[in-house]
């Protein structure tokens, strides 16, 4: 095989040291009759080049994942505080400390970014449900008191509390029934209802799926009316109604 221009016959061919495509070719099984031994990279050189390439690729992937996570977190904060319509991509870019062009490099549109945010929020909601469930006692009345008591604590201690993010967003997108965010919100609400049904079943409540749906209605209503009127009265009333429900046969 002819040496590369400007290289001596005994030198390693620089093409095989610089390009990852050449590394892949070497790994596919180059033979000594195709590569004279004095042109074939030594094992230490080959390994060092391969490690260097893999490190660069891993670093790039980590930076890409970190940037995407920062964008999603910034969008989550903006959507939570201002809603979907009042949030601009420019505002998200400023909060994430990236350019608007960078955001569109990761997400085709603000709608796609919203879907990513809701998927992230759905994961956070699942973690929150686990924490709520870990604090619940096993008996029926204790379970209901704990559930609505934690709801009341969330509403009273969160600055600028605005209720369920999923509910608010679906209301905001009411005229867009096919929006992907609505499907994500629907799944999240269904998961919450199923989680509550399991808790009720473990507490020996008859017809746990039906009771969970009724308590979900009480929860959504209590949050909405608390946003309107403030105070604790509607959450307390929802808790009392839920206690009557779980005693039914």
Query: Selecting from 3.30.70.3270, 1.10.260.40, 1.10.357.10, 1.10.1740.10, what CATH number does the domain 111-246 have?
Result: 1.10.357.10
- Give the model's confidence band at 45: pLDDT under 50 very low, under 70 low, under 90 confident, else very high: low
12 vs 173: which has the higher pLDDT: 173
Token pair belonging to 5: 């221009």
Token pair belonging to 72: 């999603």
What's the per-residue H, E or C state across the chain? CCCCCCCCCCCCCCHHHHCHHHHHHHHCCCCCCCCCCCCCCCHHHHHHHHHHHHHHHHHHHHHHHHHHHHHHHHHHHHHHHHHHHHCCHHHHHHHHCCCHHHHHHHCCCHHHHHHHHHHHHHHHHHHHHHHHHHCCCCCHHHHHHHHHHHHHHHHHHCCCCCCCHHHHHHHHCCCCCCCHHHHHHHHHHHHHHHHHHHHHHHCCCCCHHHHHHHHHHHHHHHHHHHHHHCCCHHHHHHHHHHHHHHCCC
Longest C-alpha distance within the chain, in Å? 92
Q: What's the start-to-end Cα distance of the chain, in Å? A: 88
pLDDT tens digits for 122-172? 888 888 889 999 999 999 999 999 999 999 999 998 888 888 888 888 888
Give me the phi and psi of 156, to 5 degrees please: -90, -20
pLDDT of amino acid 57:
61
| Average pLDDT over every residue of 61-88 | 85
Give me the phi and psi of 34, to 5 degrees please: -90, -30
Cα separation, 131 vs 144, whole angstroms = 15
Cα separation, 199 vs 195, whole angstroms = 6
| Average pLDDT over every residue of 81-101 | 91
The number of angstroms, rounded, from the C-alpha of 196 to the middle of its chain's C-alpha atoms is 22
pLDDT of amino acid 64:
76
pLDDT of amino acid 38:
53
Inform me whether the pLDDT recorded for 43 exceeds 60. Answer: yes
What's the mean pLDDT when you consider all of the chain?
Answer: 81
Where in the chain are the domains? Answer: 111-246
- Give the model's confidence band at 51: pLDDT under 50 very low, under 70 low, under 90 confident, else very high: low
């Amino acid at each position: 095989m002819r040496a590369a221009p400007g290289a001596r016959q005994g030198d390693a061919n620089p093409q095989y040291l610089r390009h990852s495509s050449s590394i892949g070719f070497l790994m596919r099984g180059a033979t000594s009759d195709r590569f004279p031994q004095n042109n074939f990279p030594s094992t230490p050189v080959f390994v060092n080049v391969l490690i260097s390439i893999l490190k660069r690729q891993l670093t790039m992937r980590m930076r890409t994942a970190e940037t995407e996570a920062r964008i999603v977190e910034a969008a989550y904060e903006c959507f939570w505080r201002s809603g979907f319509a009042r949030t601009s991509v420019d505002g998200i870019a400023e909060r994430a400390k990236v350019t608007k062009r960078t955001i569109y490099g990761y997400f085709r549109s603000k709608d796609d970014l919203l879907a990513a945010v809701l998927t992230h929020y759905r994961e956070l909601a699942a973690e929150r449900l686990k924490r709520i469930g870990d604090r619940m006692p096993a008996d029926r009345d204790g379970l209901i008191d704990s559930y609505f008591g934690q709801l009341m604590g969330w509403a009273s201690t969160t600055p600028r509390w605005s209720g369920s993010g999923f509910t608010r967003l679906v209301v905001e997108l009411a005229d867009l029934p096919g929006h992907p965010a609505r499907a994500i919100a629907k799944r999240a609400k269904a998961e919450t209802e199923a989680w509550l049904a399991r808790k009720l079943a473990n507490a020996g409540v008859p017809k746990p799926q039906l009771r969970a749906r009724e308590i979900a209605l009480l929860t959504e209503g209590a949050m909405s009316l608390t946003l309107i009127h403030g105070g604790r009265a509607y959450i307390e009333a929802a808790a009392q109604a839920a206690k009557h429900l779980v005693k039914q046969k």
